[in-house]
Amino acid sequence: MKNAWVNGEASQTVSLLDRGLTYGDGLFATLLLKSGRPCYLERHLERLRQGANRLRMSFDEALLRAELAAFLLESERKGLLVPDCLSVLKIMLTRGMGDRGYRFSNHHVCTRILMLFEHSSRSQQSSLSGICIRLCSTPISVNPSLAGIKHLNRLDCVLARSEWDNPDIQEGLMLNQQQRIVEGTMSNIFIVHQGVLLTPSVEQAGVAGVMRAVILDRASRKGIQALEVEPFTIDQLMQADEVFVCNSVIGIWPVIQCDAASWPVGRMTRCLQQWIEPSHDQ
Amino acid sequence: MKNAWVNGEASQTVSLLDRGLTYGDGLFATLLLKSGRPCYLERHLERLRQGANRLRMSFDEALLRAELAAFLLESERKGLLVPDCLSVLKIMLTRGMGDRGYRFSNHHVCTRILMLFEHSSRSQQSSLSGICIRLCSTPISVNPSLAGIKHLNRLDCVLARSEWDNPDIQEGLMLNQQQRIVEGTMSNIFIVHQGVLLTPSVEQAGVAGVMRAVILDRASRKGIQALEVEPFTIDQLMQADEVFVCNSVIGIWPVIQCDAASWPVGRMTRCLQQWIEPSHDQ
């Protein structure tokens, strides 16, 4: 971690009574910084708002924006944000301090956390060459009240990610108990089938990723049919014409292998990699 | 909070990189202290071990025990543990510090957190007079890989507890998507039906509470048939002869009302309240 602020001040810690720690009672967002500028910032803030609404958390968005601007300025001044370099910004919002017990006050004051990280150099290679993935046996947690939200309850992803050590496998897919594929441990999944772009619904489980929304939008604008559908059967995946995974930091990684199935890097995947290039003010 | 240690030293904070905060990657236990002595300590430590095994977390139990003894001694010396008074001890174990990303190191060092709290005086009154409860509309999270474990991913309980403000209602029941009752937001539930003691299975969702296990044990030893069964239908609850909820801090609270249904405080409930009195060395 290269820099961190809590509630507008340099800090490396939170209270033991912070409900983010005690119950995972909060949200996060992970953004790519290009030359110090956050990509898709407005979409990420919009998703934080939506997540906060669903969790009945209230936070001061103007304050968060002001702190974020100051944090990036300070990081730049300190030489932590180099032009033409990529970094990763993590925003966490928790419900703040609480007494013992699940009940929260309607007057809670959210904890605002900003963290700056290095970007992994491996990611760009994966965008070019594609990746190998696997199917995880840890099922995804199902709860329609929490589905779609990028909240801090991520133990299912943690356990799924612990299933493999092989560095040649870069992502694992998480299935529901009906053996249908919902997403990757840290990414959303898309397939192309007969020219149509498909991604699993996240109404029962999973995260509605910002990059997933960008891809659905961009495809539609280009006249490609792009649909949220029932989580995929394994057969549906294996018979897809193209497969890729995405998130805000990696962009799009083509999938070239999953167990016995393999795919070339597809044409639509390559197009989408171009189309998602962010204009920074978006 | 009256006292707190992190990894054997007085502290009120954890790192922003602690996986307990970033992913809810950890466990907790909440124990009743009677005159400063933890009730059912061995059972709680056994459950921490089981939870850690299931989450593939490794922690130094001897160290935790030593720190706990020293923490209680210090708290006593400071006058925070008064004879004949009740307090609450919370133990948290997280997977410790981590880089960004769900993957954890096999050499992770768990964070050990000890916290001392006041005990609520209202609890004993509820044990005597019984409580009113309600059915929550927030569904319980379902994941057999996490079910039973007292982990830090508790957003479903948080949302369920936020459904009511009426102070006369002291607990809410959480249902699965099949509209079957699994547990309370902070407690396990039992019913008595024709002399048989029943509690919902926690194989798909819910927490295997220490007090729940004590009750199942004590009932069996007294010759009462005590069964873990499919989560209850609402009808099953409404037609029960006796209803109570339990956890390690409250003991047993008889349930006297849930929506339109009401019950007297039952005979078996009263017996169990006696039988669960802990011998401190257990």
Per-residue pLDDT of B192-221, as tens digits, reads 999 999 999 999 999 999 999 999 999 999
Stretch A31-50: mean pLDDT, rounded? 97
pLDDT of residue A279: 60
Interstrand relation of B251-258 and B131-135 (parallel, antiparallel or unpaired): parallel
Q: Rounded distance, CA B251 to CA B272, Å?
A: 10
* % of residues, chain B, pLDDT over 90: 94
Nearest to B104 among A56, A100, A158 (CB): A158
Nearest residue of B to residue A29, measured between CA atoms: B22
- The pTM of the full predicted model, rounded to 2 decimals, is 0.97
Per-residue pLDDT of B132-170, as tens digits, reads 999 999 999 999 999 999 999 999 999 999 999 999 999
Which helix (DSSP H) or strand (DSSP E) does residue B48 occupy?
helix B41-54
Nearest to A158 among B102, B144, B155 (CB): B102
Give the position of tokens 């944000």.
Answer: A81
- HSE at residue B251, side-chain half, CA atoms within 13 A, is 25
Stretch A113-117: mean pLDDT, rounded? 98
In CATH terms, are A3-119 and A124-275 the same topology?
A: no
In B69-216, DSSP assigns E strands to 86-94, 111-118, 131-135, 169-175, 181-184, 188-193, 196-200
Query: Does CATH number 3.90.930.12 belong to domain B124-275?
Result: no
C-alpha distance from residue B243 to each of A268, B199, B226, B254 (Å): 59, 10, 14, 6
Q: Is B115 on the interface with A (CB under 8 A)?
A: yes
Q: Is A179 on the interface with B (CB under 8 A)?
A: no
Per-residue pLDDT of B4-35, as tens digits, reads 999 999 999 999 999 999 999 999 999 999 99
* % of residues, chain A, pLDDT over 90: 94
Domain range summary for chain B, segments of one domain joined by +: 3-119, 124-275
Specify the CATH class of A3-119 in words: alpha beta
Stretch A50-64: mean pLDDT, rounded? 97
pLDDT of residue B280: 34
